[in-house]
Structure 1
Amino acid sequence: MKAMHITVIAPYEGLQKTVKRVIQQQKQMKYELYLADLQEAIPIIEKVDDKTDLYISRGGTAKIIKAHTSKQVVEIPISGYDILRTLLLIQDEKDGAEIIAFENISSDFYEISQLLGIEVPITSIESENEVEKAVIRAKESGRRVIIGDTVTNQIAQRYGVEGILITSGEESVKQAFEQAETIRQVHHFYDEENQLYKVLAKEIEEPYFIVEEKEIRFKSDTLKKLEKKENLGMMLQALFELNEYEYNQELRHILYSNGKPYQIYVQPLKEKLNHSIVYIRSMEKVIPSFCRWFQTDGLSLPLVLGTDIVLENHFNEVVEKEGPILITSVEGSGERCITEAILANQWAIECDLNKEVDIDLLFSTQMPLFLLHLDQLLPSKQLEIVEAANQYANPVVFFCESQIELRVFEGRVFELPTLSKRLQHDLSFIRAFISRANSRYGKQVIGIKNTSSEIQELSHRHSLVSFRDLIFREIERADSPHILLQVDRAEQEKEGFIHLDLTKSLDEMESEIIQKVLEDEGFNQSKTAKRLNINRTTVWRKLK
């Protein structure tokens, strides 16, 4: 039978000696014995917790150990003999005495003192922080003797009051070790199953836990490591509160921890009724290779909608409807900004449907979706994908540069105006771009020198996004209150170069570089990360 490793933490020296005498009679257990009281025990726990199977301690120290470990803690009891000895010791001083102890000790004292007819005031405490105030009150009430645990005695002596330590006799220590022996035998009974769990905990790389009726029974090593980095408590609570949570069927769901999404995959264990294994998967590992994180275009919704009340009203009508939404326009017209508003969540994935796509795998992600180029597929394939989107539990936004003949989108099609159409009735976006660029580059540009016809000509060659970028480039190098917009072909031909304002902070320059590379790579974060020799998480974090 495998030996159990026990850590004994004695709160006072006399108990330490008593434990040593009892230990000599034990053969099937390995021990480490420490002298520490209350908070002094915490560094010891941190040191030995990995190799310890069980702790033995007493009173308030045992209570603190329980709060700092998941291992079992056996408490050395204050036996009836211990209490009787203490009460008999102070019976001549009972009128000037008071017991100040943790509730698990004071309640026993109360019961036995009532039986003996020895009336001694008793003050129960919940933490060591309450001891000093209790001692001061006792002294002010005329108490000459204070009975309690180690910390109570130390504080009583500090205030010039006699302290009597409630000690545990050898029979109490033996009782604790007998309980530990019972636990050892139970551990042995389940040892093979526990060993299997430990192997699984180390061998399976995915974070997971085993749950029985919404109570976690086992956690993998990888999950424990993840919990040190992420606060998963609220996310797991949200899982158990799901109406569709069942023990007899598979479930995939997206839940968030500190704003970061995880895919939760619940798999029932057929051999264990009401048991499930729950995998917690980082979305970066779940997203199919043909998808990428949705990236917004940096525009604001008021800017994209402009002053066109009809457009704004139509947007509000579309958003209120259930089902997938279709956005049509020239690419770069603000479709990503509109999509961000519709999805109401920055965590979404996008997919170019014109590439090789596994539709079943795409919709198994359970993430909000931004799907491009539906119009470039055959009508039968278009219908298949839209029908799948209709059954999908999360929002889906399609973007096409041309209309498609699908009635399923009736009432849920939103057409964005091109840049040239915007210029016909609303120029406010130009002022907004200038203001933003001034803020970014520390300039004071107040307008554009181009004529109306020149701006109109530029609008046929640019989308809203590329026109913004053109304004930003000109303002970045501007040295006068007005700028002249033109396509600097020589500048465009210098691929791989970017102008940096060295007056900015390092974080600002890093963000600008990453944003530029991201644009060059078509907002593909994987390609951006590879080109910059960093991981995708770093790309996302730097752009936050």
Structure 2
Amino acid sequence: MQAQILFVAPLSELADLAATVINEKFPDKKNLFHVVRADLQEAEALVKKAADDGIEVIVSRGGTASFIENRVDLPMVYIQVTITDILQALLNAGEYPENIAIAGFGNMIYGCDELGKILHINFTEVLLNDSDDAQPKIAEAVAAGVEFVVGDAISVKMAAKYGIKSAFIQSGKESIYRALQTAVLIASIRREEQRKTEQLRAVVDESHDGIIAADQNGLVTILNPVAEKIFNISHFDGKGKVFEKIFPELSEFCSGEKDNLIKIREKQYAVRKAIISVRGSDQGYIYNLQNISEVQKLERSIRKKLSAKGLVAKYNIDDIIGQSKACLNMKRKAAKYALTQSTILITGESGTGKEMLVQSIHNLSVRAKGPFVAVNCAALPENLLESELFGYAEGAFTGARRGGRQGMFELAHGGTLFLDEIGEMQLPLQSRLLRVLQEREVMPLGGEVVIPIDVRIIAATNKNLAAMIADGNFRSDLYYRLNILRIHMPSLKDRKEDIDLLARQFLVSMRDKNPQITDITRDAVVYLEKCEWPGNIRQFGNMMERILLLTTGSTITISDVRDACEDDSRMGEESIENREACKNLMELEDELLQKTLREEGFNYTKTAKRLGIHRTTLWRRLKKYDMQH
């Protein structure tokens, strides 16, 4: 342990006595103390070196203590002279006259007049302010009739010079012990304050934000490295200066606001101002500056990491494309149900966009800032799904990860858990899920501790759960727990009027597939509306991707759609109504091609350009309609 307390003894006897007190009273803290013998000439250099070596407190007495205190910026603990010490000095002197001078610095002779009244002795106090006072003041006391001097080392030395007797006041063990006790307390407080100061400095200096503080007089007290870079000023040039002069943009822009946005050197910063108040009295203020770009970058990074773990819902209600009555009704229910905490059951055919709707509900709810966890109940076997949902304790089964693993319910705490394809869950696991929904707590596999959870459940299925209950494949009590709020996803055949909007949305979202395509003709949309879509939006999206890849012009036409659909056996199964509509559309396209070709004098290049298609596409269609000339 590094020494924290320096004991400076002007006399060898005092140094020895201090060492004795330390051994007797501080046996477990001896390393805290360093005792040296030094007079006034040696003391200055000695204590300055000690301050650099980590000394927190200095202990000394008399003139040596006063001398050191004026030259070193460290706490000084004086060894106080007690009445006992003065009586001991008189006792050691044997006989002494009535006219006695008590000489020394203020810390030595304070209260001696009371001692004179007790002993009926005429005490004269000779107060020394510094070592140069000793000779003239002792001479003056002798001239006034003083016959005996009791005092410190320098006073005794001057008394001998003037030929009168003297007695040196020794500091006793009790005085030294009290001084050392005080020094230990001060050193401990200083170390703790230094620890807190260094901790705060580390927090401020390592912060990614710019931090500037000023005291009650408006002078800058803190300017961290980030703030230095923001304002291109060093803390040497900023600290101690008037805040308003160094940072006028902050003092003016944020004078009446707690939070604000400010532009500094072409960069946007979010600024927060806080008042430093001590017991109701304002002691200054502090500014925190965040680079908006860095905040956005950090948020993107966090979202990316959460997204990799499946803990973020990326879709909002506006991402669901559709203006049909069925679609609007579905979104209206979702928005209302999002405001509640109740369990929701989503039903509908495969490919209708159930997960997109669930994510939208999560982002509309009060749990939007919480995790979003999705589990596909059909993707995992029963035993693995159980451990995924509820987690497991260490050693729960062969191959269990050391330390165990959190389940999806725990990961979703404070957020939403989406159970997709709930109809595929096996009966034994349905029973355990029911208990979790009832008790709102889980116990990991192999665990002994019940863990409370705060999770909103949204389940989805493309199966008829009522029929499954009748067949004994789904628990009725679980069904009623899940079927509190219900939303049915309309199939694409029930919202054919949304196909135009969906097609154009896919043109935008899949632009990278074929950047030259900018539009789709009305007859192509009509053709798509007439088609059957058993795979719903998922199938429709796949078909649009195929169409984009096969189209050679800048606009998707009915011919492009037919080319993409002809290899799909399901798409070939058109209804009689659709086949009739397609026949009419083919006739219209045939007439348009013939008319344009005649008007352009059978110039294929000009005709293709006018129709907005490639020349090769024109040739293919002419061949298809047997129109070559």
TM-score normalised per structure 2: 0.33
TM-score w.r.t. length of structure 1: 0.38
Question: Which entry has the higher C-alpha Rg, 1 or 2?
Answer: 2
